[in-house]
Structure 1
Amino acid sequence: MQGGPGSLFIAFSFWCLIVLTITMCIAEMVSYTPISSPFVRFAGIYVDEALGFASGWNFFIFEAALVPFEVTACHFILQFWTDAIPVGATIAVIIVLYALINLMAIQYFGETEFWAAIGKVILIVGLIFFTFIVMVGGNPQKDAFGFTYWKSPGAFAELYYDGALGKFVGFLACLIQAAFSIAGPDYVAMAAGEAENPRKILPRAFKTVFYRLTFFFVLGSLCVGILVPYDDPNMIAAFRDGKSGAAASPYVIAMDRLGIRVLPHIVNAMILVSAFSAGNSYVFCATRSLYGLALEGKAPRFLKICTRTGVPIYCVLVVLLIALLSFLQLSNSSAVVLSWFVSLVTASQLINFSVICLTYLCFYRATKVQGFDRSTLPYRAWFMPYAAYVGLVATFIMVFVGGYTVFLPGMWDVPSFLFSYTSVGLFPVFYVGWKIAHKTKIIEPSEIDLRHNLAPIEEYERNYVPKPPANWFEKVLHLLFG
């Protein structure tokens, strides 16, 4: 809508390359030392304990901010059917459900989220096939429109300015959206401490996750540009003006344009379930991130208190309190509030990626200084350290570019500025505050402990006996996910 289909496709393709550099950085370190919350702890082991503290809290902010984002998205999606449901009622019901699930039914979390993830994959693959079928004429109008919308209104939209500058600004908007949308390596890394035979499994997992994400995001961006013109009035009504009754998905808008019945409601319902499921996952992840900080003495001690079933109850309550930011919709449209949360999440995610690249560079330098042979690693990243420098520079620049629109003439907006740069301001405060309070120092390459926590990992490898799949279900999982 802001940059056109060409800008969207190029931006997502380019950002996937940046994510590849980040994936390689974290994959090499985690495959060598598979510990829980690795990219947060590695920052303290390889760089500076204060950086580990700052990155830990930044990751918590990132996860916690995604909860109100998904709550807001749920109401946004519901508006396709009706605007009769009060905003406050939708928010309250969803937050209460999250509370019940995470406090009382947590034993079912893993299984339900697994099936929800399978459903999301089926939905994405189905929409990609849908795009191909309708673009070659398999639609009620028998219109083989192909890449028509790339010609009229065009592949590149002008944003704020005319000519080449406007098209560049449009591309920049698409790049910011890509930086928000494309994630993955950090979530794979989070499971490193619990993975079975991690030094063998994780290298494969990082590779396959990156390829799948690239496939889905790049093809998805191409599909959106094929299905809907960037000046579609229904899309503008939904995403720019936040009008009720408008579809919250370009795919649903395309189905309406083509006169397809029933399917738009099915897809919208699946998107709603996906958004709710994602929010529930973020409640869980944010809770465990905060709990981990408390266990390491980097958050208040009362956050370590758990119920008899092992649920860190006060951590859950803190995350649910942050979810109350969803009530900002009461005085603003869902589209506006969504854009605020996108800005906050994007900044935190980019800072996290920058820390991963910086940490890897310190790890890489330590291997050189200490004469460590990287060819013995379970996973050896390509083009290092140059790829890490590319990732660091790209993510660092994007941290500050994310909220640039507030500095354009006549576009100053206090909420947009705060949501775009709060994480940018808090991160150095966290770092400097912990550094002063605990008198930490940047670790010299020669002093970095490259064998940190390796003894139990090597002992596990010596005693590991692979378990064959116990049933057909596990065989299918092994075939699909390794």
Structure 2
Amino acid sequence: MKGAFAEFYHTGSLGRFMGFLACFIQASFTIAGPDYVAMAAGETQNPRKTLPRAFKGVFFRLTTFFVLGSLAVGVLVPYNSKDLVDIYLLGKPTAGAAGSPYVLAMQRLQIGVLPHIVNALVFTSALSAGNSYVFCASRCLFGLALEGKAPKIFTRTNKVGVPIYCVGLVMCFSLLAFLQLSAGTAQVLNWFIGLVTSSQLMNYAVCSFTYIKFHRACIAQGLDRKGRLPFCGMFQPYAAYYSLFFTFIMTFVGGFTVFLPGFWSLPTFFFSYTMPFMFPVIFLVWKFAKGTTWRRSIDIDLVEGLDEIEAYERTIPEKKKKKAETTGPFEKVQQTLLRRVMRKQNSSVESNLGKGQ
């Protein structure tokens, strides 16, 4: 095998493309995270000041971690490593995080303490991810209940405002972790990767579509995003179209292996394509049952709730406002990088305009 792409399922160019596609599908599983920051807006002080910084920080940190981490693992662990093949292709059970590529990479360095450190980091990372998912899922369910799209019992909160019934229901899903007792870890992981990945991709596709409609509404109503909004994304709306196209395509590509000769698996097909088929059904049933209609860009309400937000911001002490506006060393580096990107973008646009003239 020559080149950077390994053959997978087939030989030749098709096999190398399938290898790339399989990696691309696995990478789709990790795209979730930045959007969860927005869910904390309702429980964050001065969110219009703090959340833009949080979004920028999460983007750079996740990108750095995954890109550099994948590069390090790829350098240390070959694609045809016996351990990787046994765990991820043959479904050999492993103990805890021992099957993590990061742990395998540390083991290949033959430094005794490193695998234990990585195990501890994987454990804390899983705990942090679990906390985030419980928070986000419970708040989503709480929001649906407030809008009448979920049973009213989920609107109940305790004295400090925590939706306890929502949290309780979400925590019940953690019991699915015991599936590992009856099947190989990799098999169960692959099932849930298929289910969660398809759900996340559809979520991003819907978010991208919603943003495109929002962008059109801003143009139709003459709202200046850069002047009125606390945060304005780059490369819009083209980035939203790009995201919508690829997330929609990847939703249906995620379980392609079940259609290959000799690879049919009913559980894999079920976990990969349940959500893509359920989503339009749920959408149409709700639309026809409630009689909702599409709104034109000129009729979309862009200022609903703005008065409450501005009234809340007026109650924030000046000290807290200044503290939210201060930037640390990491944020200063981010801002420098963003300014350079924006300058390059503006210069390229100006050069293209000059060539067109």
Whether the TM-score (by the shorter chain) exceeds 0.5 is yes
> 1:164 corresponds to which residue?
13
Q: Confirm or deny that 1:327 pairs with 2:178.
A: yes
> 2:345 corresponds to which residue?
none
2:124 to 248, 260, 273: 273
Give the direction of change, closer, same or farther, for the CA distance of 1:200–1:308 in structure 2 (3 Å limit).
closer
Cα deviation 1:84-140 (Å, max 9, x = unaligned): xxxxxxxxxxxxxxxxxxxxxxxxxxxxxxxxxxxxxxxxxxxxxxxxxxxxxxxxx
Structure 1 unmatched runs, 5+:
1-151
Superposition deviation, residue 476 in structure 1: 11
Q: Confirm or deny that 1:383 pairs with 2:232.
A: no
> 1:186 corresponds to which residue?
35
> 1:195 corresponds to which residue?
44
Structure 2 unmatched runs, 5+:
333-357
Greater displacement, 183-192 / 340-349: 183-192
- The alignment of Structure 1 onto Structure 2 pairs a total of residues equal to 329
> 1:222 corresponds to which residue?
71
What TM-score, normalized by structure 2, do the two folds share? 0.83
Cα distance in 2 for partners of 1:180, 1:475 equals 33
- Give, as a single letter, the amino acid of the residue that structure 1 aligns with 2:101: P
Q: Confirm or deny that 1:436 pairs with 2:288.
A: yes
Cα deviation 1:301-342 (Å, max 9, x = unaligned): 222334556543432332233333333334321110000101
Q: Is the CA contact 2:46–2:321 (under 8 Å) kept in the aligned structure 1?
A: no
SS at match of 1:185: coil
Q: Where in structure 2 are the equivalents of 1:254-403 lying within 5 Å?
A: 254-307=105-158, 310-377=161-228, 378-403=230-255
Superposition deviation, residue 418 in structure 1: 1.1
Cα deviation 1:419-459 (Å, max 9, x = unaligned): 11111122112211211121101111111011111112223
Cα deviation 1:139-162 (Å, max 9, x = unaligned): xxxxxxxxxxxxx88632111010
Q: Is the CA contact 2:142–2:166 (under 8 Å) kept in the aligned structure 1?
A: yes
Cα distance in 2 for partners of 1:421, 1:213 equals 28
Superposition deviation, residue 174 in structure 1: 0.9
Cα distance in 2 for partners of 1:187, 1:437 equals 30
Cα deviation 1:263-313 (Å, max 9, x = unaligned): 212321331232234224323332232222222211112223345565434
Cα deviation 1:338-372 (Å, max 9, x = unaligned): 00101111111111111111111111111222222
Greater displacement, 243-252 / 427-436: 243-252
SS at match of 2:276: helix
> 1:252 corresponds to which residue?
103
What percentage of aligned pairs have identical amino acids?
57
Cα distance in 1 for partners of 2:12, 2:171 equals 46
Q: Is the CA contact 2:49–2:325 (under 8 Å) kept in the aligned structure 1?
A: no
Cα distance in 2 for partners of 1:460, 1:314 equals 28
Give the direction of change, closer, same or farther, for the CA distance of 1:455–1:164 in structure 2 (3 Å limit).
same
Q: Confirm or deny that 1:174 pairs with 2:23.
A: yes
Give the direction of change, closer, same or farther, for the CA distance of 1:281–1:362 in structure 2 (3 Å limit).
closer
- Give, as a single letter, the amino acid of the residue that structure 1 aligns with 2:279: F
Q: Is the CA contact 2:255–2:269 (under 8 Å) kept in the aligned structure 1?
A: yes
> 2:344 corresponds to which residue?
none
> 2:83 corresponds to which residue?
234
Give the direction of change, closer, same or farther, for the CA distance of 1:286–1:478 in structure 2 (3 Å limit).
same
Higher relative contact order, chain-length normalized (CA < 8 Å, sep 6+): 1
Q: Where in structure 2 are the equivalents of 1:396-475 lying within 5 Å?
A: 396-467=248-319
Q: Is the CA contact 2:93–2:186 (under 8 Å) kept in the aligned structure 1?
A: no
Cα distance in 2 for partners of 1:366, 1:417 equals 39
Give the direction of change, closer, same or farther, for the CA distance of 1:434–1:459 in structure 2 (3 Å limit).
same
Greater displacement, 190-199 / 401-410: 190-199
Q: Is the CA contact 2:212–2:240 (under 8 Å) kept in the aligned structure 1?
A: yes
Cα distance in 2 for partners of 1:182, 1:399 equals 13
Q: Which runs of 4+ in 1 moved over 6 A?
A: 474-477
Q: Where in structure 2 are the equivalents of 1:136-147 lying within 5 Å?
A: none
> 2:55 corresponds to which residue?
206
Give the direction of change, closer, same or farther, for the CA distance of 1:198–1:317 in structure 2 (3 Å limit).
closer
Cα distance in 2 for partners of 1:240, 1:468 equals 53
- Give, as a single letter, the amino acid of the residue that structure 2 aligns with 1:347: S
Superposition deviation, residue 182 in structure 1: 2.4
- Give, as a single letter, the amino acid of the residue that structure 2 aligns with 1:390: Y
CA-atom RMSD, angstroms? 2.8
Q: Is the CA contact 2:94–2:185 (under 8 Å) kept in the aligned structure 1?
A: no
